[in-house]
Structure 1
Amino acid sequence: MVERLRELWRYRELTRNLVMRDLRTRYKNSILGVAWSWLNPLMMMVVYTVVFNILAGRSGLPNYPVFLLSALLPWNLFATSVSQATNSFIEAAPLIKKVYFPREVLPLSIVLGNTINFLIALPVFFALTLILGGRITVWVVLLPMVLLVQLAFTTGVSLITSTLNVFYRDTRLIMDVLLMAWFFLTPIFYPITTVPEHYALWGVAFNPRIWLRRLNPMASIIASYQDILYWGVPTGWDFLLRTALTSLVILIVGYLIFLRYSPRFGEEV
């Protein structure tokens, strides 16, 4: 694996070119261009604010649009990356069959491209926070650490789903459904504190809030973003460290799965 990582580093220029190509293609012939990196989450924020804050009566949270956007931005980074990366090997089939290069640069470049979009959108979030009377605290310095944990998890999941999709083309369709369900099982439009701490299922008592964060790494990641960006407090270190370990495991497992099956990509795509 170490030698493979060295090879990946030698092909870093290819990764950069793929990222730039993806960004240019995404905004090609678009009147607003890169402004869509700001407008897309803002429009989603408006829709969800109307639905969940006004119609559903969740007006108890101050600056609900800021709360919502602090979760939507990282969620879009994750969901868009996984969705696009899942089909990356299939879309690049002609290239894979003709030219040798580390195949992992394909999903990796997609994750990096969406990370750039996320970073472009952050200044708009900070501006909106100040306009609506929110505050940006010193704990924002923890943001790179949370982002790094998220990128490890996102890359690991992307490697798994993109590899599976080479052999089972239903993977892409299944992931569309799973990502939608995953969205509602992640505290994006509701604070994680609204999840009950005590619940009994078939006579067995358990803590849904704790298990949501343990079984859903994105729940801890999103909650960490909300802690830093919305509540202005340091994130829960126990959950963040546990999530960092989980993300690292997912990344390693995803890469091992990719390395195991990537030699057959040329035959299957």
Structure 2
Amino acid sequence: MLRVINNLYSYRELLAALTWKTITVRYKQAYMGIAWALLKPLMLMLIFTVVKSFVGIDSGDIPYPILVFAALLPWIFFQEATAEGVNSVVGNTNLIKKIYFPREIFPITSVLTKLVELCISFLILAGMMVYYKMAPTIHVFWVPLIILYTIIVSLTVAFAGAAANVYYRDVRTGLPVVLSLLMYLSPVIYPLALVKERLLTQQAAGEWSDMLYTLYMMNPLAGIIDAFQKAMLQGMAPDIGAIWPGLITILILLPLSYIYFKRAEAHFADVI
């Protein structure tokens, strides 16, 4: 692990240059520029709020619009960072064929560039908190750790996905479908407390309830979204019990994903 970090540190200037280049190119020719980063969470918030009025999702003491917007911030960051990371190697064919440097820089760069959009979305969330008269507490300092955890989750998927995408271009086509399904398996539209109540308290799935809840919590986004909402809106520390199943999953999958990426890396220039 230290060798990997030292290797990346040696190429820190290249990493910074590629990150800045990606950010500037992405919005240079867009008429609305970086404002597009705000439209997606705002539009999804409005759509989910309308749906909630028909379905009747219980959001507790927190107004549903700000609850779902707080869920969308880490979710959209994960979704778009992962998608960019998976396509990063194929999208930089010319660089790969010209010179050598650690290819994991591409997924890392793709994930880091999405932090800019995340920071802008935080401004909207802050405005909504002012509107709903919700003041942050000391627990807001958990947020950087939650975002760091989200970055690690994104890289876990991006490393394996980027390597597989070089050999199987179906990965790029199928990824949006998988991510869309994963959103409904994460507490974005509904709070995690609702899942816990239905499965653990009400035993809605019968004898399968406990097992289904455990499987649900192995999704790292479940713990991330719940922790983010607690830290930002509820003035509470993250629920460690909600985080550890997904964290264990990532601690197992991240090394495997990185090893797969490095083994496939040697043949990128030949296959791509």
Deviation at 1:56, TM superposition (A): 2.4
Q: Which residue of 1 aligns with 2:227?
A: 224
Aligned to 1:208: 212
Matched residue, 1:112: 112
Q: Which residue identity lines up with residue 75 of structure 1 in the other structure? A: W
Deviations 1:165-216 (A, max 9, x none): 1111111122111101100000001011212222446x65535334311x21
SS in 2 for 1:206: helix
Unmatched segments (≥5 aa) in structure 1: none
Percent of residue pairs bearing the same amino acid type: 29
Q: Which moved more, 1:26-35 or 1:54-63?
A: 54-63
Q: Secondary structure at the match of 1:92?
A: helix
Give the TM-score normalised by the residue count of structure 2.
Answer: 0.90
> Is the alpha carbon distance of 1:44 and 1:167 closer, same or farther for their aligned partners in structure 2, counting shifts above 3 Å?
same
Alpha-carbon contact 1:86-1:158 (below 8 Å) kept: yes
- Say if 1:199 and 1:206, in contact at 8 Å, map to a contact too: no
Alignment match, 2:154 = 154
CA distance in 2, matches of 1:60, 1:14: 45
- Over the residues paired in the alignment, what is the CA RMSD in angstroms? 2.0
Rounded Cα–Cα distance in structure 2 between residues aligned with 1:107 and 1:205: 37
Count how many residue pairs are aligned between Structure 1 and Structure 2. 266
Instruction: Report matched runs for 1:120-139 at 5 Å.
Output: 120-139=120-139
> 1:246 offset after TM fit, Å?
3.2
What's the offset of the Cα at 1:234? 1.1
1:225-264 aligned within 5 A: 225-264=228-267
Q: Distance in 2 between matches of 1:86 and 1:211?
A: 25
Aligned to 1:194: 194
CA distance in structure 1 between the partners assigned to 2:205 and 2:54 by the alignment: 30
Distance 1:23 1:257, change over 3 A: same
Q: Deviations over 1:225-257 (max 9, x none)?
A: 111122221111233344334333332221111
- Opposite residue 250 of structure 2, the aligned amino acid is S
Work out the CA distance in 1 between the residues paired with 2:32 and 2:130: 24
Aligned equivalent of 2:57: 58
1:21-70 deviation digits (Å, cap 9, x = unpaired) = 1111221223332233333322221222122x223233654411110111
Q: Write the distance in 2 (CA, Å) between the matches of 1:126 and 1:16.
A: 28
Cα 1:205/1:72, change in 2 over 3 Å: closer
Distance apart, 1:218 and its partner CA: 1.1
Report Cα offsets for 1:109-166 as digits up to 9, x if no partner. Answer: 0100012221222122112111123232221111111111111111111101111111
Q: Distance in 1 between matches of 2:209 and 2:68?
A: 31
Is the 1:136–1:232 Cα contact (8 Å) retained in structure 2?
yes
CA distance in 2, matches of 1:209, 1:229: 25
Is the CA contact 2:220–2:246 (under 8 Å) kept in the aligned structure 1?
yes
3-state SS of the aligned residue for 1:27?
helix
